[in-house]
């Protein structure tokens, strides 16, 4: 990674964090201007005042999380999809909790501070105040999104179902707008506040329309991707080969993923994320898919000539994140997919790249990886079989030493490497802990997990 790119990404991260804190500070100033502190002197007025503040912050954070997941390229490059997803989750739950607090505090305040009167007051507010029915419908959408985002619920849902339900967040945000504009005194009380709120809403809506709708449609039309072959790779795993127009101009790198739709098959409107399993060469793209749900299973039957609609590319598991000459790739199962592309696409001298690959039965891309090792000097360390313990990311093949000692035994100069990790989230977290414990600087660790 060049120092210019590193400085640019660091600057974007710092600027985006500063913008978030500036937004929160502006909200506090709006609240203070409307007498927020003075209203704390009485019980009822204090409930209404704190309710207004929590509502302001909840509304802003709702729009911030829309911006975070709008696939804005400058944010994607600087943060990476994994980190953005984690921050999106944190901001989303914070916004939801503040929204619940807003409803509770404002209702309690309008009930003159009497808890027993709050149910009836909530009913009256919902039916009598402008925009409240729409706000209630929007809140229901957000409750559904949050409920299905809890880890226990996510484990019970198919990816396709979760993805469809998650789109209701946009509907929830849209339905809340009339209530905010008609009853929020801090929103349109001055020209400055009106410009701020309309600007934030316009930025969120514009980002979604440009980066999630217009750009994918234009890029899919421009490159006209079509399937050329579907090739079995192993038990429940297959590769899809695609070609198209002007692929050399498609801004995609080894290690990235795209979200894919293949019109004409059942459920094609729901996108699925798949990484490139070969470095792009300007002539062909290849993705490798493991059958884990209805969408991936139906993809095996896709026929040559089928069209593809794509969003992306996404992900920071690329040369852009690189800071050192030496590279360590660590993958598990189908997580080898982007790492195999990196082993082919990154520049390195013989002996400067090491691959640690854990798999249960048969490794994917064995012949291809052995070919890369022969041509380019890739060092491959295999970890066959199941994990030796639940807390370890190594298999029994690694012996009985601690994960840290095994890792340092295999890669003594670990701190001189960039480490790229891809695999299931729990396993990748174990790799992260071990690498940091072994002395790897945090900014040299680059992860991509299977979590959604």
The arithmetic mean of pLDDT across residues 35-60, rounded, is 87
Taking alpha carbons only, the member of 88, 42, 24 closest to residue 452 is 88
Tokens of 367: 């012949």
> 423 and 334 in contact (C-beta within 8 Å)?
no
SS3 268: coil
Residue with tokens 């039309």: 221
Residue with tokens 């978030």: 20
pLDDT tens string 401-414: 899 999 999 999 99
pLDDT at 2 over 70: no
**Percentage of the chain lying above the pLDDT 90 cut:** 46
Least confident of 213-222, 284-293, 389-398: 389-398
pLDDT band (50, 70, 90) for residue 180 = low
pLDDT at 248: 92
Phi, psi dihedrals of residue 270, rounded to the nearest 5°: -90, 120
Residue 234 CB: number of other CB atoms within 10 A? Answer: 16
Taking alpha carbons only, the member of 212, 207, 175 closest to residue 59 is 175
Least confident of 50-54, 78-82, 416-420: 78-82
pLDDT at 354 over 60: yes
pLDDT at 270: 79
Integer Cα distance of 428 and 360 in angstroms: 16
* Averaged pLDDT of the chain: 86
pTM for the full model?
Answer: 0.83
Q: Which residue has the higher pLDDT, 378 or 270?
A: 378
Class of domain 224-314: mainly beta
Domain ranges of the chain: 3-218, 224-314, 319-449
Cite the DSSP H helix spans in 37-80. Answer: 43-68, 73-79
Integer Cα distance of 59 and 256 in angstroms: 32
Same fold, 224-314 and 319-449: no
pLDDT at 206: 94
pLDDT band (50, 70, 90) for residue 416 = very high
CATH number of this structure's domain 319-449, picked from the four choices 3.40.50.80, 3.55.10.10, 2.60.120.280, 3.50.50.60: 3.40.50.80
379-384 vs 353-359, strand pairing mode: parallel
Residue 322's alpha-carbon distances to 4, 6, 348, 350, 417, in angstroms, are: 12, 9, 12, 17, 9
SS3 359: strand
Integer Cα distance of 301 and 383 in angstroms: 32
Q: Which residue has the higher pLDDT, 417 or 9?
A: 417
pLDDT band (50, 70, 90) for residue 182 = low
159, 165, 168, 172: CA torsion to nearest 10: -120
Helical axes 168-183 vs 191-207, angle rounded to 10°: 170
pLDDT band (50, 70, 90) for residue 330 = very high
pLDDT tens string 127-160: 777 667 777 777 777 777 777 666 655 566 666 6
Sheet with 417-423: strands ordered across = 379-384, 353-359, 326-332, 417-423, 445-449
285-290 vs 272-275, strand pairing mode: unpaired
> 49 and 39 in contact (C-beta within 8 Å)?
yes
Contacts of 8 (CB under 8 A, 6+ apart): 78
């Amino acid at each position: 990674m060049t120092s210019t790119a590193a400085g640019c990404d660091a600057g974007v991260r710092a600027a985006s964090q500063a913008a978030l804190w500036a937004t929160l500070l502006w909200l506090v100033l709006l609240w203070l201007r409307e007498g927020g502190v003075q209203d704390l002197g009485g019980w009822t007025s204090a409930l209404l005042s704190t309710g207004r503040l929590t509502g302001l912050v909840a509304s802003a954070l709702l729009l911030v999380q829309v911006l975070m997941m709008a696939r804005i390229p400058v944010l994607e490059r600087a943060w990476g999809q994994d980190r953005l997803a984690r921050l999106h989750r944190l901001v989303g739950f914070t916004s939801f909790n503040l929204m619940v607090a807003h409803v509770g505090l404002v209702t309690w305040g309008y009930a003159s501070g009497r808890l027993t009167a709050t149910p009836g007051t909530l009913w009256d507010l919902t039916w009598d105040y402008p925009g409240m029915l729409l706000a209630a419908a929007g809140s229901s959408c957000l409750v559904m999104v949050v409920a299905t985002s809890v880890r226990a619920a996510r484990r019970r849902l198919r990816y396709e179902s979760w993805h469809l339900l998650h789109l209701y967040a946009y509907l929830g945000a849209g339905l809340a707008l009339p209530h905010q504009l008609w009853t929020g005194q801090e929103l349109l009380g001055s020209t400055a506040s009106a410009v701020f709120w309309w600007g934030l809403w316009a930025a969120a809506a514009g980002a979604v329309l440009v980066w999630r709708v217009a750009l994918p449609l234009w890029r899919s039309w421009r490159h006209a991707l079509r399937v050329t072959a579907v090739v079995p790779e192993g038990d429940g795993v297959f590769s899809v080969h695609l070609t198209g127009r002007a692929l050399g101009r498609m801004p995609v790198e080894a290690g990235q993923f795209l979200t894919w739709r293949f019109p004409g098959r059942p459920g094609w409107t729901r996108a699925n994320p798949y990484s490139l399993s070969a470095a792009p060469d300007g002539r062909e793209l290849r993705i490798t898919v493991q059958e884990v749900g209805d969408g991936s299973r139906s993809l095996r039957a896709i026929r040559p000539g089928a069209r593809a609609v794509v969003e992306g590319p996404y992900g920071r598991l690329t040369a852009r994140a690189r800071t050192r000459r030496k590279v360590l790739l660590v993958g598990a199962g189908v997580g080898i997919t982007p790492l195999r592309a990196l082993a082919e696409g990154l520049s390195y001298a013989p002996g400067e790249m090491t691959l640690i690959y854990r798999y249960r039965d048969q490794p994917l891309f064995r012949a291809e990886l052995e070919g890369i090792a022969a041509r380019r000097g890739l060092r491959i360390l295999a970890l066959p079989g199941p994990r030796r313990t639940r807390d370890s990311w190594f298999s029994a093949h690694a012996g009985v030493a601690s994960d840290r000692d095994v890792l340092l035994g295999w890669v003594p100069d670990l701190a001189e490497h960039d480490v790229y990790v891809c695999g299931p989230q729990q396993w990748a977290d174990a790799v992260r802990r071990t690498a940091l414990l072994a002395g790897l600087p945090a900014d040299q660790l680059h992860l991509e997990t299977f979590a959604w």
